[in-house]
Amino acid sequence: MYFSTFPKYLPCLLAVILLLPVTALGLPGDMNGSGRVDGYDLIMFGLANGSGTGDENWNPDADLDKDGSIDTGGP
């Protein structure tokens, strides 16, 4: 049978290989470290939106492009 030669550990190995870069580098947009980008992250971004370094509502995790200001980009 084909499946009898299929290594049982292969799916786990592939999952580790595919997920390692995400877990090692962090998930972009995951501001609370939950492993997901969801509404909580959007709320955190909204609270910090428009702020810059030193502002009271500054959140470095929300500065996705690391330019010192939190905005949605664009012109």
Q: Which residues bind Ca ion (CB under 5 A)?
A: 30, 32, 34, 36, 41
Cβ 25 to Ca ion shortest distance, Å: 15
Q: Which is nearer to Ca ion, 23 or 32 (CB)?
A: 32
SS3 content of the chain, % helix, strand, coil (to 5): 40, 5, 60
Report which residue's Cβ sits closest to Ca ion. Answer: 34
Distance CA 71, CA 73 (A): 5
Q: Which is nearer to Ca ion, 12 or 22 (CB)?
A: 22
Distance CA 10, CA 17 (A): 10
Token duo for residue 56: 């009271």
Token duo for residue 16: 């580790």
Q: Which is nearer to Ca ion, 41 or 63 (CB)?
A: 41
Cβ 46 to Ca ion shortest distance, Å: 14
